[in-house]
A and B are shown apart, each in its own frame.
Chain A
């Protein structure tokens, strides 16, 4: 009989329970499992560790990682995260709860999701938001499928080649298996080609068009003229956005987009080697019944008080099975709480300041890097916190050399550029130190 801190069973407890069940041993409980399927050898696993041994084990693993000052974005950003966030998100009432099926004892989760939905609508300028998706790339893939559901008899979706690489690849995977045709809008001097958009729309059959607000080169795209031709062709305008940037850049709502998606990581979530993050998805209210995932709504209880519950569930897999709008069940609820607490603390002023400082730091970095003579300009277009340059030295070597110096910077891209990013966390001194190292390369 094992004595182990997560098992409260004493030998008498086990005996009492076995007696009630009418079994002689724990193994009797598996009498319905064919004997040749019972694993009789010892499992090939390490010996049980004590808590201290587990700590030591992970500390030793962590010591094999190098802590770098991050000057790269590409879908994961090193923004400041206030001290309050982990204290709130680690409260076990939030952390150890399941999906809020029982509204009467889940008002905490339901209320913060409602607040999250409200804030996403505020940032995007759209009418409704769902309770979250896994991450930005999967949210984009779901939005592409959704555009098919919202339009009739259309079979293809146009995607911009300027989307982040991992967004494009995820959309490609989902689309390949779902059986929808993707056609690409090429880049024209760093932004989505408007001429190609017109041409492709003219060919017909387009359900949706997915373009980025701030693209893989860090450029803020001018999408002011996109909505009209897309809507004239009966298609859905889907925008991929960095929600942090939405505090200052033109919103999907203002641009006439129908669906906005993106990754909430830039709103106070640690980079944590790529996850957990949170995908967001918002749309115009006409399309709410095609929206995937959970949605929280306001209502009243039997005593007339304002309360919140999961709503419009007839879209979901547990009710509609193969006819559901998506297969998504668990989403990223706790990560939505990260972003909600973050946005509450930052407020409109903090969000503006984060963007202002990131903008200033990135532009200072850009000028300083160009002045080293190791790079050439690629695009001369407005950017926010991220940009690419063409290296005149070997890109891979440059990245490794900078890593040796304590920086993650100059990520090589498939176009032969190197990508940089500076958030409000980057100081002038850090930038100067990075640039000094680049000069030596």
Chain B
């Protein structure tokens, strides 16, 4: 990777263009709009040639690290390989040229994509129906909670305004609850890192809309008492929501529908191999059990009497949650992945991902603190270095700071690996959350393990090696404090 300093605006030169619209058949222009409706000055945009644009963005891309560059063990993000056939399918001109409001009779193929992937995801998860309208995982969570509330509202049960969220939950869980107008009640984890059932019981009442859980949880641990939890929550009239960010280890092994979950979302950009795009587009389809199907957001794809497919708007729907029917291009990719896997290969997705996580965990637990030692699923959490290299005086006062989790993460970049998720979950102070996925070979895992050991040794000898890291990346650590104190958020501000 090399450092490249330009912004596209800085390449601009009056008179250059990068487009071709062909011969103009028209004489009229938008200048015919009344002047009160027209902007007074043209927008400040770059004036660059096509070559400028291609070189600039190619240079920018070379300062980026993707799954195709190397190992990306980012916990809770499931950075598995993104198959190229998916890209080919999503870029088919026919699909790309479809307008979302075309008459149903002209888009039967597109609607079949929805019904086909819905059937597959229902088989994989044990849910009955899916909506594909949410555009990301958090959007799926919000939609799922809307479905939950709509169900209670339709029954005339207006008191259920609280939702239970474990203290280990993803940050999006409580945030989605708040956006959905629900009050968050936190349930604690026990010493084994699982939801504490004895802490849960007193929280249950007729004000509880439901509980949000991820299973395995963010520590990578399977919630063994899920059936008891389901029965308790159902017993008080609440519903169970499954945060599917951690579904990967269960693919081909176990189904949220069988555990008692009523609503769940999936991240197609995690478990179903669609690329993350530097932060989206994702897709967060939401599955529900049969009794909640009427509450799914509108529109849904449903068969007509003649067997053709159409977009339906049910009267009980929780409403519209996005512009059209979600991120169709992402849905195409995920469907392609499922068809490539087929039932023969499905069973290895979860199993290989769990094997890889346990392999790393067992290989590094002498160098990194392992707060919970039991078998993990797709990911696990270390709580910092065993020996961080801190130097203490005779009284035990720290005279030289040791290496932190941040330092370990930054040092990994020097060795050509993406960093794990750090400082999450917040149950520990120095969390390092590692998720390797089923895509990685044992050689890649071994190389990562050896590097983590080298970094641990470096820390023990001299933590400053880590504190100055990264040394080999296009830039060194950014000054985030200044960025937040004096926000400089657009090019125009940086030049005046």
Contact of A321 among B119, B171, B475 (CB under 8 A): B171
Of residues 176 to 224 in B, which have CB atoms within 8 Å of A's CB atoms?
Answer: 176-181, 184, 221-222, 224
From known contacts A105-B413, A263-B323, A329-B137, infer whether A65 and B98 are also in contact, taking CB-CB under 8 Å: yes
B residues near A441, Cβ cutoff 8 Å: none
Closest to A426 in B: B25
Whether B66 contacts A104 by the Cβ 8 Å rule is no
Q: Contacts A82-B19, A102-B419; is A271 near B281 (CB within 8 Å)?
A: no
Q: Whole-angstrom distance between the alpha carbons of A327 and B145 in the complex?
A: 12
Q: How far is the CA of A105 from the CA of B224 in the complex (A)?
A: 38
- Give the residue of B9, B105, B351 whose beta carbon is less than 8 angstroms from that of A29: B351
Q: Is the CB of B18 within 8 A of A346?
A: yes
B residues less than 8 Å from A424 (CB atoms)? 21
Contact indicator per residue, chain A 62-98, by CB within 8 Å of chain B (1) or not (0): 1111111010101110101010101110111111111
Q: Mark A6-35, 1 if CB is under 8 A from B, else 0.
A: 111100011011101111001101111110
* A195 interface hit (Cβ, 8 Å): no
CB within 8 Å of A: which B41-65 residues? 42-48, 50, 53-54, 56-58, 60-65
What A residues does B369 contact at CB under 8 A? Answer: none
A58-B332, A129-B489 known; A334 and B277 CB under 8 Å? yes
Which residues of B from 409 to 428 have beta carbons under 8 Å from A? 409-410, 413, 418-419, 424
Q: Does A204 contact B (CB under 8 A)?
A: no
Distance A127 CA – B490 CA, assembled complex (angstroms): 8
Looking at the assembled complex, report how far the CB atom of B194 sits from the nearest CB atom of chain A, in whole angstroms: 10
A62–B336 CA distance with the chains assembled, in angstroms: 13
Q: How many residues of A contact B (CB 8 A)?
A: 208
Interface assignment of A440: CB less than 8 Å from any CB of chain B: no
Q: How far, in whole Å, are A136 and B297 apart by their CA atoms in the complex?
A: 17
Q: How far is the CB of B43 from chain A (nearest CB, A)?
A: 5
- The yes or no answer to A232 lying at the interface (CB within 8 A) is no
Contacts of A384 in B (CB 8 A): 30, 33
Contact A274 B324, CB 8 Å, known A67-B97, A99-B279, A134-B135: yes
Contacts known (A9-B442, A273-B328, A333-B277); A307 close to B478, Cβ less than 8 A: yes
Cβ B46 vs Cβ A272 within 8 A = no
Asked whether, in the complex, the Cβ of B64 is within 8 Å of the Cβ of A76, the reply is no
Q: Which residues of B sit under 8 angstroms from A118, Cβ to Cβ?
A: 7, 9, 490-492
Interface residues of B in 225-263 (CB under 8 A from A): 226-227, 252-255, 258-259
B489 and A117 within 8 A (CB): yes
How many Å lie between the Cα of A101 and that of B410 in the bound state? Answer: 11
B72 proximal to A (CB < 8 A): yes
Assess whether A30 is in contact with B253, with CB atoms less than 8 Å apart: yes
Q: Are B97 and A271 in contact (CB under 8 A)?
A: yes
Chain A residues near B7 (CB, 8 Å)? Answer: 111, 114-115, 118
Contact B473 A105 (CB under 8 A): yes
Residue in A closest to B351 when the chains form the complex, CB atoms: A26
CB neighbours (8 Å) of A125 from chain B are: 39
Contact indicator B418/A349 (Cβ below 8 Å): no
* Sample of 11 A–B contacts (CB below 8 Å): A7-B345, A7-B439, A39-B253, A67-B97, A99-B276, A134-B135, A166-B320, A247-B43, A275-B100, A318-B172, A330-B138
